[in-house]
Structure formats: structure tokens, C-alpha cells
Amino acid sequence: MKVPLTIVDHLRRAELVYGNRTAITDEPDQPATSWGSLTYKEVAERARAQAAGLDALGIPQGARVAMVSHNSARLYTSFFGVSGFGRVLVPVNFRLVAEEVQYIVEHSGADVLIVDPELDESLKSVTAKHRFVIGEESDSILYQYGVEPKAWAPDEDATATVNYTSGTTARPKGVQLTHRNLWLATGCERSRYLLAHTSAVSLQWLGHGLCGNSNGWRARYFAQGRRRRNSATHRSVRHHHVVWCTCCGKHDSRCSSYMAR
């Protein structure tokens, strides 16, 4: 018997086994209203609410949802709320200019575009069939609580996310990752987080690190996404009792500095 491996498996396990444990702490200082600290149960509830919201908008399963956002609880939750219920998340690098973002939205065929309010002005020209700016107003549309989302027949070979390159030497190129790809990648990562009450801070872009950072293995994440002074990050590391720091190569020395203190 073949049991399909899909990314929502991790969320269901986390909700069942570690439902009351903190899953993620949202960046407190951001243009949109911060979601604060969410338990795995709350992340699961918001993921289901997002799936129901997309249902209500008439976004079919298999459709692409592009999101241009700094690291945030909303981006983290969208990995499950979009991909976990049969749609495809297209996380777009927030450092790209409007022309590049528009190319990715069009090339991926995204029906929905969700934009960080800090980037709204610079991306005014970027459009899609449905365009939302992250915040309370869009939350009221995108998250329908108390409504059961449409069932999705699990397919581990279905595309879960499309991650684009930065297009340094040519147009950005999309890499399709299936549910099986991400499920197995998360399984490889889990051994790094098997300490009870582990906390991790991500200084890499969650859009490229979601497969390892969205798991059901009791780890807690602090969505460090915006440019902050080193002292502010040090305070966050201490306050959230962080014992694991995940960085892109650019910030590797900063990670070592944060953990040394």
C-alpha cells in the first residue's frame, strides 16, 4: 500500500502531538499587525482558515498563489494553508524589483498575489487577478475561520511550491518542488531539531527554507525577517531562548556572533 507523503502531514502531526507548544513567534516590529506567538494548533487553524478563504474566492486546487513577503508568521502559515490543501505556493524574493516580480507572477500563472505592506508602494505596478496587501483588511478575506476547506485528494507528486532563482544572469527560473520532495527534505532536517523545546531563529529567507523550517517535530521558530540592528537580534535570541540559528551564507558570521552571546 502506498501512502502519499504530503506537507500537511507535518502540520497534522504537530497539531496532534504538540498542539499547545509554540510553533512560531512573528516579527513584532512590522507594518502589518503582528500575529505574535502562535501554537501549532493555532497555525493549523489559520492554515485551514486560509484554505477556506481561497475556496471562497473561487481559487481552484492546483492554482498558484504568489507571496512577496519578509519572513513572517503569515508566510510560514501560507506554506500549509496554500500548498497543504492542493494549491501551489510561489514565494517571491522580496529583494527583486517590480519588473522581476511581475515576470514571476506572470510566468508562474499566479491567480493570487499577496504583498508585504512594506513593499506595496514599490510593487504598485505588479498585478494579478486577485491582489492583496498583508494586514487586517486582507486577513478578513483570506482567512475564513470556522469553515471547513474543500477536501483535497493527497498526491505526493503534485507540485507544492515553485521557487524562483534571483535571475542574476538571466530571467528568474522556477523550480517546482513536489510534496514528496519537501516531505523527504523535512525528514532529513528533523534530526537537527530533535531537542525538546528547541528554538530556532531564521536569518535566511523562509521562502527558500520552508521545507526544513515547516515541520511537525516540536521546534519553535522566530521569524526574523526585516533589517534589524544586531543588538535587536541579540535580544530576540536571548528572549526566545534560541539554541539553533539558521542563516544564509551572507549572515553566517552574524549567526555565530548571536549564538556566542
Cα–Cα distance, 8 to 6 (Å, whole number): 6
pLDDT given at position 218:
46
Name 106's Cβ contacts closer than 8 Å, sequence gap at least 6.
none
pLDDT given at position 260:
47
**Residue 78: inside a domain, yes or no?**
yes
What is the span of the domain harbouring residue 195?
A: 8-260
Cα–Cα distance, 228 to 243 (Å, whole number): 20
Whichever domain contains 235, its CATH number is 3.40.50.12780
pTM (predicted TM-score): 0.82
**Residue 193: inside a domain, yes or no?**
yes
Residue type at position 20: N
Q: Tell me the longest C-alpha to C-alpha distance in the chain.
A: 53
**Residue 1: inside a domain, yes or no?**
no
Order across the sheet with 174-178: list the strands: 130-133, 110-115, 64-68, 88-92, 159-164, 174-178
- Domain total in the chain: 1
In sequence order, what DSSP letters do the residues of the chain get, joined into one string? -PPP--THHHHHHHHHHHTTSEEEE--SSSSSPP--EEEHHHHHHHHHHHHHHHHHTT--TT-EEEEE-SS-HHHHHHHHHTGGGT-EEEEE-TTS-HHHHHHHHHHHTEEEEEE-TTTTTTTTT---SEEEETTHHHHHHH--TT-PPPP----TTSEEEEEEP--SSSS--EEEEEHHHHHHHHHHHHGGG-STT-EEEE-S-HHHHHHHHS-SSS-EEE---S---HHHHHHHHHHTT--EEE--GGGHHHHHHHHH-
pLDDT given at position 28:
85
**Residue 127: inside a domain, yes or no?**
yes
Triad 30, 35, 40: Cα angle to 5°: 140
**Residue 149: inside a domain, yes or no?**
yes
CB 182 within 8 A of CB 161: yes
Tens place of pLDDT for every residue, the chain, 261 residues? 788 999 999 899 999 998 999 888 888 888 999 999 999 999 999 999 999 999 999 999 999 999 999 889 999 999 999 999 999 999 999 989 999 999 999 999 999 999 999 999 999 999 999 999 999 999 999 999 999 999 999 999 999 999 998 877 888 899 999 999 998 887 665 555 554 445 555 544 455 544 444 444 445 555 555 555 555 666 666 666 665 555 554 444 455 544 444
Beta bridge pairs of residue 98: none
CB 233 within 8 A of CB 258: yes
pLDDT given at position 230:
55
Cα–Cα distance, 30 to 74 (Å, whole number): 12
